[in-house]
Amino acid sequence: KKRIGKTIWKKKGYWVALKAFSLAKSLSTGNSKSFFVQQIQALE
């Protein structure tokens, strides 16, 4: 049980880091609007 929880936490941490990196990248290039559109599409 503990191992499964750790794996989920690791995956979550990876996605959070990836999202944060993508957001920073899009903001630095001035494409924050397209970033949010991509996020909405990814959620659907």
pLDDT cut 70: percent of the chain above it: 57
Number of domains in the chain: 1
Domain interval for residue 35? 2-43
> What is the pLDDT of the chain when averaged over all its residues?
73
pLDDT above 60 (res 32):
no
The 3-state secondary structure of the chain, one letter per residue: CHHHHHHHHHHHHHHHHHHHHHHHHHHHHCCHHHHHHHHHHHHC
- Write out pLDDT tens, residues 1-16: 677 677 776 778 888 8
User: Phi and psi at residue 27, in whole multiples of 5°?
Assistant: -70, -40
Are the beta carbons of 35 and 22 closer than 8 angstroms? yes
Cβ atoms of 23 and 34 closer than 8 Å: no
